[in-house]
Structure 1
Amino acid sequence: SDLFTMGVPVAEKVIRTVAVYAALSLLIRVFGKRDLAQLNSHDLVVMMLVSNVVQNAIIGADNSLWGGVLGAVTLFAVNAVVVRWLRRNATVERLFEGTPTVLAHDGHFDEATLRHEGIRRGDLERAIRNQGADDITEVATATLSPGGAIVVELKAGDQNASRADLDAVRRHLDARLDAIESALR
């Protein structure tokens, strides 16, 4: 039975898992930084096929329960170590994760960057609307973060007022009205 008997030595299983993790991390870094929420149907098909393709590279000739558990534990452990290492060193984080990319600036799309990053104009327009702008003319900058999220900064005149902003205006007007009333008495 293959249930508890591993067909591959533990060290080989760990090395295989770490190697596949490193290779996939590099491929993701090279081929773009779109967020999972921005994946289109073709990207989803690729992700599903990649998981199937690398399965044998991780498990080798091993169909045991313990071999699968060891592979999963190794993936989680390697990921935890890598994430903590990246967060402690800004230079290494920039090297592995990249830097933000400007997709739109001062109310205009950067079409070349959108093409390069594989982001459709409609997807950026949707992200802009989701973050409070009516259209591109209200955008100071829209950037694609290294993690794949689109971050929109509105022009000062197009930013929404918060309750604190409204309260400050109300207090200012109340003070002015009190001053006028006092002057009239």
Structure 2
Amino acid sequence: MWHDLSSVQIPIAEKILRTVAVYVLIVVLFRLSGKRGLANLNTFDFVVIFLLSNVVQNAVIGNDNSLLGGVIGAVTLVTVNALLNRWLARDRRAARIVEGRPTTVIEDGRLIPAALSHLALRPSEVEHAVRLQNGDAVEDVALGRLDPDGQLIVILKHERQSATRADIARLEDRLAAIQLLLAAGPPRT
């Protein structure tokens, strides 16, 4: 039993190479499939991810069912992912190539149909994201863009934004000035 758990049935270098190759393939596939990323997964996206993990399992582990073989594959995946994340954090050009660029989907309160079509986004998904970010409707948005990580970033039109502390402070100052004028009484002529 212990022998079966610890005996790697294919060469370790091959296992590492298989794991890295599958990782790179999955990254490329997700990059080509668009920016929706994990932030906006729908039911169909979840089904694909679950099936994808099963489909590539044998490509990663080969004919190796040992515990040690699985550990080698897992450590390789985590290591490659950590190295890729560190590289992308340091190299903007590499990050732009691997992750892509933001795409504007709302401009001055109007959806951009070509961008939505290109990203395979439905207007209802964008409207939902706007509501999550304190907008009542797409018409409230000055600019909305889908970032490479799948997050929809919304900048509301100035008149639709919530009051800030600075806005409240300005109103308090104006109110104090009005109270001073009222306390001073009518102007003398």
TM-score w.r.t. structure 1 length?
A: 0.93
RMSD after superposition: 1.6
- The offset of 1:182, in angstroms, is 4.3
Secondary structure of the residue aligned to 1:140 is: strand
* Correspondent of 1:115 among 113, 117, 128: 117
Distance 2:146 2:162 in 1: 22
Which consecutive residues of structure 2, in runs of 5 or more, have no partner in the other structure?
A: none
Per-residue displacement from partner, 1:133-175 (whole Å, max 9, x unpaired)? 1111111111110000111111111111124421331123213
Matches within 5 A, 1:117-132: 117-132=119-134
Matches within 5 A, 1:67-106: 67-106=69-108
TM-score w.r.t. structure 2 length?
A: 0.91
Aligned to 1:39: 41
Which consecutive residues of structure 1, in runs of 5 or more, have no partner in the other structure?
A: none
Question: Greater CA radius of gyration, 1 or 2?
Answer: 2
Aligned to 1:170: 172
Q: What fraction of aligned residue pairs are identical, expressed as a percent?
A: 45
The number of residue pairs the alignment matches comes to 185
Distance 1:8 1:157 in 2: 64
Higher mean Cα deviation, 163-172 or 73-82?
163-172
Aligned to 1:62: 64
